[in-house]
Chain A
């Protein structure tokens, strides 16, 4: 039950796009279309941003999008805004249990 691998940090200027990768194995990310993404601001609880690889909950801006190819899922933030600066975690179903990613800090320059 190893954590999924994410880059430690990514950055971009306001208005630009950034993509966060989430790499697992065929037992988790690659085996199921059940990848979700969570945004966490300092001192706050995580917030669901994407579920089932690419579905967006109501209220989440459409500049957030998700995708998956083989054992790697990705979260793209288009038109980066100041409030998007936060930590982001992926999470995958792994056949009865779940595993989170290592987390990525997004910095808006």
Chain B
């Protein structure tokens, strides 16, 4: 049974950056891609991007193209989402999820990022 464990909640000031980690277990890390999704308070799900854990190749949503970087560390089997130039509207729960085919079969517990002055 796959499990994805994310890092804890963060509070950041406007203009700062945040780095959220995601550590899967229960499967071979490099066999699946990882997708990042966010959800603002009371809002819907928003697809941010995807990374191949094997090749490190990435695809980003146009909206986040200039501000987000997805990486993986195969030595520790950990994925990271780095979001820069934070604004108040980046306050959200950020999820990582395992990509299996064209769907997301296992999700992390979510990481709340709060942007506050």
Q: Taking beta carbons and an 8 Å cutoff, which residues of A are in contact with B?
A: 1, 3, 32, 34, 36, 38, 40, 45-48, 51-52, 57, 89, 91, 93, 96-103
Known: A1-B63, A45-B110. A38 touches B47 (CB 8 A): no
Known: A1-B62, A45-B108, A45-B109. A38 touches B45 (CB 8 A): yes
User: Are the CB atoms of A48 and B102 closer together than 8 Å?
Assistant: no
Indicate the size class of the contact surface on chain B: 20 to 34
User: Are the CB atoms of B107 and A96 closer together than 8 Å?
Assistant: no
Cα A100 to Cα B97 with chains together (Å) = 14
| Set of chain B residues within 8 Å of A38, measured between Cβ atoms | 45, 104
| Set of chain A residues within 8 Å of B35, measured between Cβ atoms | 98
Per DSSP, are chain B's interface residues mostly helix, strand or loop, or mixed?
Answer: strand
Q: Taking beta carbons and an 8 Å cutoff, which residues of B are in contact with A?
A: 35, 37, 44-47, 50, 59, 61-63, 95, 97, 101-105, 107-110
User: Are the CB atoms of A45 and B95 closer together than 8 Å?
Assistant: yes
Cα A52 to Cα B103 with chains together (Å) = 8
Query: Which residue in chain B gives the minimum CB-CB distance to A34?
Result: B102
User: Are the CB atoms of B110 and A100 closer together than 8 Å?
Assistant: no
